[in-house]
Amino acid sequence: MAPAPELKAPKKGISHSTLGRTQRWSWIFQRVSGVALILLITIHLTVNLIMGDGINQIDFAFVAGKLANPFWQWFDFVMLVLAMVHGSNGMRMIIDDYARTKWMHATLQWALRIATVVIIVLGTLVLFTFDPCPAGADASLLPSFCEGI
């Protein structure tokens, strides 16, 4: 009887246990930040779209009123950073999987890194430098606490 054919060892797949240290942290970060984002976005949408007058309440005064409050500044900052890092980390993996040439891979990864940093920096500047009572503005458009400033 012919001997049984020799079977090749199965290829090592990218399972959780075979990932490197950085990859493992990236995997854990995506899960943890995903759950945190569900909570943050639910609060964000409830406060902006359901409570009070809902979507009709969103105007300059509403946004200015929120961004004059350190709680909402830091809430929005955490949501901004988590959403951007979660989204760009996901995109990084998609580029790793699909970019075919070295050149395309490097170009896309750098474009992604630059876009992520620019958006986080600009978003953070908005949150912490926003002037709720700009001089010379129509007082009827400003939050009530601007009166007398």
Binding site for ligand HEM (CB under 6 A): 41, 44-45, 48-49, 58, 63, 66, 72, 76, 79-80, 83, 123, 126-127
Query: Are 99 and 111 in contact, with CB atoms under 8 Å apart?
Result: no
Q: Which is nearer to ligand HEM, 104 or 125 (CB)?
A: 125
Minimum CB distance to ligand HEM, residue 24 (Å): 25
Q: Which is nearer to ligand HEM, 27 or 62 (CB)?
A: 62
Minimum CB distance to ligand HEM, residue 114 (Å): 18
Q: Which is nearer to ligand HEM, 44 or 92 (CB)?
A: 44
Minimum CB distance to ligand HEM, residue 125 (Å): 8
Cβ neighbours, 10 Å, residue 64? 20
Q: Which is nearer to ligand HEM, 24 or 31 (CB)?
A: 31
Give the CB-nearest residue to ligand HEM. 123
In the numeric block, which tokens belong to residue 31?
A: 């899960």
Could you give the angle at which helices 70-98 and 21-45 cross, rounded to 10 degrees? 130
Minimum CB distance to ligand HEM, residue 83 (Å): 4
To the nearest 5 percent, what fractions of the chain are helix, strand and coil? 70, 0, 30
Q: Which is nearer to ligand HEM, 79 or 146 (CB)?
A: 79
